[in-house]
Structure formats: C-alpha cells, structure tokens
Amino acid sequence: MSFVAPEVQWAALAPIILVLGAGVVGVLVDAFAPRAARRPVHIGLTVVSLAGALVAVALLWRDVRADGGVEVLGGSVLVDGPTLVLQGVIALVGLVGLLVVADRTDSHEDAFAPSAAAVPGSDYEELARRKGLTTTEVFPLALFALGGMMIFPAAGNLLTLFIALEVLSLPLYLLTGTARRRRLLSQEASMKYFLLGAFASAFLLFGAALVYGFAGSVRYADIARAVSVPSDLDPLLVAGSVLILVGLLFKVGAVPFHSWTPDVYQGAPTPITGFMAAVTKIAAFGAILRLVYVVLPALEWDLMPALWGVAVVTMLVGTVVAIVQTDVKRMLAYSSIAHAGFVLVGVVAMTSSGISSVLFYLLAYGLATVGAFAIVSLVREVDARGGAVVAEATHVSQWSGLGQRHPVLAGAFALFLLSFAGIPLTGGFTGKFAVFSAAVEGDLAWLAVVGVVASAAAVFFYVRLIVLMFFTDPAGTPGSSTTVVRTDGLTHVAIGLGVVGTILLGVLPSPVLGFLSDAAVYLP
C-alpha cells in the first residue's frame, strides 16, 4: 500500500502561518539573541508578521470572493468571507494593541515584571529589577494567542475549535500575571482566569462530545446535515449545543459567565487588558457567529430564546454595575460586558445583515478599546514626597482635571468613551445602529428597544468621567498626585490609530458596511 500525501492549500493558511511562525521564531530569539537585542528584534518581528498577515488576507480576498471560499485540511479550517474579515480585524487590532505592549516610559520601564516567575517582593525580584531585566517573552506569547484567535473563527470542526480555544487562552493566562506593579493582584487575576477558563473549556469539550454522540461527526457540515433531520437524540444535541455556547460565551464575558472579567481586567497589565478585551472578543464572537449561522440554524427555536435572555441580562447587568464602579479599569470591564450584550443582539438577528453588523461592531469596538486602555496605561500616580511614579491612577477621582492639564490625551479618551456610549459621528454609534437595525429586520424590535435603553443608561458613567476630566478641578489624594508619563511614543501611535479609526467609522461608514455585506457569506 502506497502512501498518498495530502494536498494542503498552504496559501489559504498564510495569515495563520505567519503569526504562529513568528511566535516560534520569537521563542528562539529569547533563547539565543543577546539580551540587549531581544526587544527591538521582537518588536520588528511582531510588526512584520502582523503586517504580513494583513497583506496575506488582502491577497486571499479575490479568490474567496470568486469561489465563495475554500476548505483546508479536510474541512478543519474554513476560509471564507467572514473568516478573512475576522482574521484581518484580529491582525489589525492586535498590531495596534501590541504597540502599547511594546512601549516603555522615558525611564525604560515597561508594564511587565522584570521576572514574572519570581515571588512578589522577594530578593530575586529586587535583584532582577536592579539588573534591568525585561520579560520579552510577552511578544511570542501574544503572537501565539493571536494565532489561536485567527484559527478560532475559521474552525470547521469542534476539535479544531477546542484546540484554537486552548492556543489562544493559555498565553493569556500567563500574560495576565506579569504586571510590574500590584504583583499579587495580577497573579490572583491570572489564577482566577485560569481556573474559570478551565471550567469553560471543559464545558465546551463535554458539549462537543455530546454533539458527536448525536451526529457521529465533529465536522460542522456533517453536524448541520444531522441537525436538519428529526431524531430521537435531539435532547443530546440541544444539551451539547448549550454547553458549547457556554464555553464560547465565557470568552466574550456574557452574563452569567462574566465573573472573571472585572478582576482580570483590573489585575492584568493594562496593555494586556486592552489587547485581551479587544481581540479575544473579536475571535470569540467570530466562532459564535459560525456556530449559530452555519451549524445550528435548525435549532433556532430551541436555542434563540436562551440567547435572547443572555443578551438582555448582559446588557443590563453590564450597564447597571458599571454605574457604581470607582475604578476606571473595572468600569471599562463592565462596559465590555454590556458591549458583549449589544453584539449578541446582532448575532441573534439571524439575518445576513446581522453578520455584517456584528463584524462592523467588533472592528469599531476593538479600535476604541485598545485606545482607551492605552490612555489608562499612561495616567500614573506620583508620590508627592519622593516624586516617584508608584502605580497607575485608576481611581475615578484621580482623573479630575486631566483635561485641563493634558487636553489632547483627555480629548482622545473622551472620544473613545463617546464611541462606547454610541454618540453620533463615532464608530460606536454606527455599530450600535447596525446591530439594532439587524434585530428589527429579524423581527426582534423589542430586543433593539432594550439595547437602546441600556445604551441611554450607559451614557451616565461615560459622561461622568468626561465631566471629571474637563469640568472638575484636580483633587489628588493626600500625599500623591497624577501625571501622564512620557514614553517612547508607541502608545501614542496606537491612540492615534484608534482615534482615526473611530472617527472614520463614524463619519464614513458606508464603504466598510458595503464591503462587510459582500463578505458576510459563510461556506455551507
């Protein structure tokens, strides 16, 4: 018997290969490159690989538009219009987020512990700090996470979905615990994220086993065919589908699977918080879209009422709890929970406009989120006695008067907050209008009304912070004051890109919406 080599369309996998390959090379750089050369090499490798992934996505678009897409590796990976859009958005937002990760203050200090494995407060950690060690491992870890995220919405079977989930999650668990300051809080956040993430992965894997028991296959196409035929095993299918959705809803921070979000967002290094809040949500919603629109449409009346309920509760809980927060990072965390509910409104619309509206919303939300957390990373608390920067100034009161001292930075933050609130002429407004319009088109006008009410209530806590920045005199806490640190400039580039994207998506959304409407066609 002769061996027949499989035919693999490597070109279709080019974006994924570039990112994961760069992650592997990054590990070798940490192992063999001189210490002084590691950071610049990592930054160059990261930028080149993600820019290359964007170019690869653009080159693949013509073929995908002509033939609808291609199945790779026996259907394990599906490259179609939504896949390429999501991979492009992940690469773009990931690149902007990693600019913030790579930045340093003018004292050559980044956001990461000099030795993340050291016991907080130990002599070894102090020695590593004095020697000026840096945790350059964050770059390959972030690239591995991005590689998993690019596979996640392209998965064509449940095993690939699970593997992609683990590839994107494990690096994030590690990155969450690497903060330079508030080390115990960071490590606690990492442990919470890991434990709850492990439970979510177990739910997804158990659900995949039940669905396999129903369909006799893990391929989406086979499951979709089996779902369309009545069977005595339908309870097995419903239970398995619910468990898979639980695992995916955990990754987007939807209620009631959201309890990890505020603690992890607060404890993680702020550049990682922005990176994780934006890109992980994009990838996870991409996976949910494919599952709901391709695999489970025949279960619409079994699953949609539950998803309607999750969307409503997520919007309301995220909005109401965000109002009472006094920490900026926790406020943005609950804001992200509310936004997960808004995106779910587009998901459950079950129309082609629902797909395109979700893709647009994810792009607008991702750029604004990275920009907002980038600004948070620059606002620091200063010890008035010694003049040393001691921590990020995340208490809401510490932002009083920021607009008077740093009007440009505060203005950019206000723009991102207004976009989150859905104020016209911002990308956030266009995104919300698109998902609510899709819900109305899908005969879910009542759900759109709930979304509008939640959006109106959310304006309160966004505007409250804007009022503090521009219309309140500085009121520093006793013994300390607030400043904006100077950096190498990469964070300012990321903020600028976020500002430009937020404005363009609000003022000129039609070309993007038209393109996404053409791309919102899944392979069967």
Asked if 376 and 329 count as a contact pair (C-beta separation under 8 A), the reply is: yes
Phi, psi (deg, nearest 5) at residue 157: -150, 170
Between 450 and 73, residue with greater pLDDT:
450
Phi, psi (deg, nearest 5) at residue 78: -115, 120
pLDDT at 206: 95
* Start-to-end C-alpha separation, the chain: 34
Question: How does residue 385 score in pLDDT terms, banded at 50, 70 and 90?
Answer: low
Please tell me what DSSP assigns to residue 405. H
Asked if 294 and 524 count as a contact pair (C-beta separation under 8 A), the reply is: yes
Any bridge partners for residue 382, and if so which? Answer: 389, 481
- 3-state class of 67 per DSSP? helix
Phi, psi (deg, nearest 5) at residue 398: -75, -10
Average pLDDT, the chain: 89
Between 296 and 409, residue with greater pLDDT:
409
pLDDT 10s digits, 1-16: 677 777 778 889 999 9
Q: Could you give the angle at the alpha carbon of 286 between the alpha carbons of 228 and 96, nearest 5°?
A: 175
Taking the C-alpha atoms of residue 280 and residue 306, their distance in angstroms, rounded to an integer, is 23
Q: How deeply is 120 buried, as exposed, middle or buried, from its count of CB atoms within 10 A (0-12, 13-18, 19+)?
A: middle
Question: For residue 204, is it left (φ>0), alpha (ψ between -120 and 50) or beta?
Answer: alpha
Question: How does residue 479 score in pLDDT terms, banded at 50, 70 and 90?
Answer: very low
pLDDT 10s digits, 301-335: 788 899 999 999 999 999 999 999 999 999 999 99
pLDDT at 405: 86
Residue in the block written with tokens 């050559």: 108
The Cβ of residue 472 has, within 10 Å, a number of other Cβ atoms equal to 15
Question: How does residue 247 score in pLDDT terms, banded at 50, 70 and 90?
Answer: very high
pLDDT at 480: 52
Asked if 346 and 485 count as a contact pair (C-beta separation under 8 A), the reply is: no
Tokens of residue 307, six digits: 């998803």
Identify residue 160 by its one-letter amino acid code: T
Tokens of residue 242, six digits: 């619910």
> Alpha-carbon torsion 358, 359, 361, 362, what sign?
positive
Average pLDDT over residues 151-178: 94
The answer to which of 239-253, 296-310, 363-377, 439-453 has the lowest mean pLDDT is: 296-310
pLDDT at 390: 66
Average pLDDT over residues 230-251: 88
Question: For residue 327, is it left (φ>0), alpha (ψ between -120 and 50) or beta?
Answer: beta
- The residues, ordered by sequence, that sit 6+ positions from 409 with a Cβ below 8 Å of its Cβ are 375, 378, 402, 484, 495
Instruction: Kindly tell me if the per-residue pLDDT of 384 is higher than 70.
Output: no
The answer to which of 39-53, 446-460, 479-493, 501-515 has the lowest mean pLDDT is: 479-493
Please report, rounded to a whole number, the percentage of residues in the chain having pLDDT higher than 70.
96
- Indicate the length of the chain as a whole number: 524
- 3-state class of 112 per DSSP? strand
Between 375 and 388, residue with greater pLDDT:
375
pLDDT at 113: 82
pLDDT 10s digits, 351-381: 888 999 999 999 999 999 999 999 999 988 8
Between 217 and 234, residue with greater pLDDT:
217
Taking the C-alpha atoms of residue 340 and residue 256, their distance in angstroms, rounded to an integer, is 12
The Cβ of residue 433 has, within 10 Å, a number of other Cβ atoms equal to 18
Side-chain-facing half-sphere of 468: CA atoms under 13 Å:
18
Between 112 and 283, residue with greater pLDDT:
283
Q: How far is CA 300 from the centre of its chain?
A: 27
pLDDT at 112: 84
Q: Measuring CA to CA, how many Å separate 36 from each of 32, 136, 367?
A: 12, 11, 31
Structural Rg of the chain based on CA atoms: 22
Domain definitions of the chain by residue range: 10-519
Taking the C-alpha atoms of residue 404 and residue 424, their distance in angstroms, rounded to an integer, is 25
- 3-state class of 353 per DSSP? helix
Scanning 379-489, the segments in alpha helix (DSSP H) are: 402-405, 407-421, 427-441, 445-471
Residue in the block written with tokens 């996976």: 287
Average pLDDT over residues 87-116: 88
Tokens of residue 21, six digits: 């390959």
Tokens of residue 65, six digits: 């538009």
Q: Which helix (H) or strand (E) holds 22?
A: helix 14-32
Instruction: Kindly tell me if the per-residue pLDDT of 408 is higher than 70.
Output: yes
Please tell me what DSSP assigns to residue 325. -
Asked if 376 and 392 count as a contact pair (C-beta separation under 8 A), the reply is: yes
Full-prediction pTM beyond 0.85?
A: yes
Instruction: Kindly tell me if the per-residue pLDDT of 428 is higher than 60.
Output: yes
pLDDT at 125: 74
The Cβ of residue 418 has, within 10 Å, a number of other Cβ atoms equal to 22
Peptide bond into 256 cis (omega under 30): yes
Taking the C-alpha atoms of residue 177 and residue 112, their distance in angstroms, rounded to an integer, is 9
